[in-house]
C-alpha cells in the first residue's frame, strides 16, 4: 500500500484529523477515534501527543515508502510508535528503545505485545552497542529523547545502525539543551553538530502550536 493511503486525513464531527490505517482493527491506545473508510479503519493521530503527527501537519516532507527497519529512540509508552507501526505495516519492524522501565512496562503491555512489528529494547540510548535484539541496519532512525546530549546520542546510534544515505528524524526540545540560549540559536547549534558529522539537513520544522520550543530536523546520513 502506498504511503499516501497509510497516512491520510479523515473528518470526525466536521473536523479534519490526520490519521493512520489501524493495523489492529478495533483496538485503540489513547482514546483516539476509529473511522471506517474505503474498507479500512483509520485511527486519528493526535498532533498534541505525537510530534511526528505535528511535523506532518507542519509540512514534513517524508515518505515512509521503502522504510523497513526503524530504530526509534525514546519510545515512551508508544503513542507515536503505534502510529509508526501502522505506517510500516507487517513488512517493517520498529526497534523501540526506552530507558525507563516504568514507562517501558506500558510500551510492552499496550503496544509491543499486540503489535508484532514493534520490538521493545529496554536500554539507555547512550549505550547503542547493548541493543542485542538488533541484527540488521536501519532504513530510518527517529530520535525523541529530550536530553541535553540528544543530538550526540542520535549521531552515535546512526553511525552504528543507519544505512548510508538514509534519513534521521530528530526532535529537538530546545529547553532540554540550554534554557539560557534562544530556541533558534540552540537549533542552529544542533544543526551544525549534525553537519559536521556527515548529515545533510533537509528540513527544520518548528512544531508550534503543538509543541512549544520544539523542532524536528530531518537529515540524510552520508558517512565518509
What does DSSP assign to residue 89? G
76 binds ligand SAM (CB under 6 A): yes
Considering the rule CB under 6 A, would residue 44 count as an interface residue with ligand SAM?
no
User: Which CA distances in Å does 221 have to 60, 92, 149, 152, 189?
Assistant: 18, 20, 19, 14, 18
Give least dist CB 101 to ligand SAM, A.
10
Q: Examine residue 74 and tell whether it contacts ligand SAM (CB under 6 A).
A: yes
Residues 127-156 that bind ligand SAM (CB under 6 A): 144-147
- Note whether 79 binds ligand SAM by CB under 6 A: yes
Q: Where are the beta strands (DSSP E) in the chain?
A: 7-12, 15-21, 34-37, 40-44, 69-73, 93-97, 118-121, 140-143, 167-173, 199-206, 214-221
Q: Is residue 51 a contact point for ligand SAM (CB under 6 A)?
A: yes
Q: Is 98 in the site for ligand SAM (CB under 6 A)?
A: yes
- Return the range that interacts with ligand SAM (CB under 6 A); candidates 8-16, 118-126, 181-189, 214-222: 118-126
Query: How far, in Å, CA of 29 to CA of 34, rounded?
Result: 11
| Residue 55 sits in the site that holds ligand SAM (CB under 6 A) | no
Cβ proximity to ligand SAM, 36 vs 209, nearer residue = 209
Rank residues 86 and 98 by Cβ distance to ligand SAM and give the closer one.
Answer: 98
Amino acid at each position: 500500500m502506498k504511503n499516501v493511503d497509510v497516512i491520510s486525513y479523515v473528518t470526525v464531527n466536521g473536523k479534519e484529523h490526520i490519521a493512520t490505517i489501524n493495523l489492529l482493527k478495533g483496538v485503540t491506545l489513547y482514546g483516539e477515534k476509529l473511522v471506517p473508510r474505503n474498507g479500512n479503519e483509520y485511527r486519528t493521530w493526535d498532533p498534541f501527543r505525537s510530534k511526528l503527527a505535528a511535523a506532518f501537519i507542519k509540512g514534513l516532507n517524508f515518505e515512509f515508502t521503502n522504510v523497513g527497519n526503524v530504530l526509534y529512540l525514546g519510545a515512551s509508552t508508544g503513542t507515536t510508535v503505534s502510529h509508526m507501526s501502522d505506517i510500516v505495516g507487517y513488512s517493517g519492524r520498529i526497534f523501540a528503545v526506552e530507558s525507563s522501565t516504568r514507562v517501558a512496562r506500558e510500551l510492552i503491555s499496550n503496544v509491543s505485545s499486540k503489535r508484532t512489528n514493534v520490538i521493545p529494547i529496554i536500554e539507555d540510548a547512550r549505550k547503542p552497542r547493548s541493543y542485542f535484539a538488533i541484527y540488521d541496519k536501519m532504513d530510518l532512525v527517529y530520535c525523541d529523547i529530550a536530553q541535553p546530549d540528544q543530538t550526540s546520542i542520535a549521531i552515535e546510534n546512526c553511525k552504528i545502525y543507519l544505512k548510508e544515505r538514509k534519513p534521521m528524524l530528530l526532535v529537538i526540545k530546545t529547553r532540554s539543551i540550554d534554557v539560557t540560549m534562544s530556541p533558534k540559536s540552540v537549533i542552529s547549534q544542533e544543526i551544525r553538530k549534525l553537519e559536521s558529522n556527515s548529515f545533510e539537513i533537509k528540513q527544520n520544522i518548528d512544531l508550534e502550536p503543538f509543541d512549544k520550543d520544539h523542532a524536528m530536523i530531518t537529515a540524510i546520513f552520508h558517512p565518509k
